[in-house]
Amino acid sequence: MGRIGPIEVMRILKILKRLWPNPGAMEIGNPYQNLVGVMLSARTRDEQVLKLMPGFFRAFSTVEKLADATTKQIEGKISTIGMYRQKAKNLKKMAVDVVVKFGGKIPSTMDELIRLAGVGRKTASVVLVASFDTPAIAVDTHVHRVTNRLGWVKTKTPQKTEQALLKLVPDKLKHTVNQVFVKHGRYICISKPRCWACPVRDLCAFKQKNLVAPKNAREILIDMERREQVLEELRRQAIR
């Protein structure tokens, strides 16, 4: 494949957006709820985080209430997920900083967001896109793997991938990258890719394509759809 340009980027994202039309799992509610969700989702299955969201936000409906809570109280609402003690500490400190330094409003710039406890560029990027409609690209292992296989980038780390994608992808399309590639990397472009199910395989630079569908291909596709439906329902219920 030749050099990737905006037309190729737009074409692939358009195709994948039809395949994965739902918002990202942590694109929920207001900026406070969105930020909390993304912070909790680090190294944790989205389903686990979304299941605890209703109870969490009943207890801490605002950033001020979260700031007033003790770390133990926060732990009690998130103990079903991994690293909950460290996450509780980060949530407490984040909330206090937002109240003290930002007047109770979640900051809306990258530089301000990454000053908060437990917030790195990936988390900040999700919040910027979902809550403030600001062009950004959150790069996790899925986005890193898929964009390298496609030939969009040739990078060794998610950080380098983010830098390359920010230059490659037009601003109006940046919000779509994380949404479609996280899902694509989770279900189809896995470690042993399911190229047989990929609608952009003919536009992909990956050489070791797995084009032979297994005998249980139909069951795999049905399970993908079911998992997405479950995730979307949990997302909708998260802030009711």
Which of 92, 122, 174, 183 is labelled catalytic?
Answer: 122
pLDDT of residue 204: 96
Residue 6, H or E segment: helix 6-19
What digits encode the pLDDT tens for the residues 49-101?
A: 999 999 999 999 999 999 999 999 999 999 999 999 999 999 999 999 999 99
Q: How many alpha carbons fall within 13 Å on the CB side of residue 216?
A: 4
Using H for helix, E for strand and C for coil, what is the string for 20-61? CCCCCCCCCCCHHHHHHHHHHCCCCCHHHHHHHHHHHHHHCC
| Count of structural domains within the chain | 2
Tell me, yes or no, whether 10 and 86 share the same domain: no
- Encoded tokens for 170: 């037009």
Nearest Cα to Cα of residue 143 among 210, 74, 189, 198? 189
Tell me, yes or no, whether 189 and 205 share the same domain: yes
Let me know if 122 is a catalytic residue: yes
Which of 140, 160, 202, 209 is labelled catalytic?
Answer: 140
pLDDT of residue 239: 75
Let me know if 183 is a catalytic residue: no
Burial of 99 by CB count in 10 Å (0-12 exposed, 13-18 middle, 19+ buried)?
Answer: middle
The pTM assigned to this predicted structure is 0.92
What digits encode the pLDDT tens for the residues 128-157?
A: 999 999 999 999 999 999 999 999 999 999
Tell me, yes or no, whether 106 and 156 share the same domain: no
What digits encode the pLDDT tens for the residues 202-217?
A: 999 999 999 999 999 9
Tell me, yes or no, whether 80 and 158 share the same domain: no
Question: What CATH number is associated with residue 124?
Answer: 1.10.340.30
Which residues, in sequence order, are CB contacts of 146 under 8 Å at separation 6+? 181, 184, 185, 189
Question: What CATH number is associated with residue 179?
Answer: 1.10.1670.10
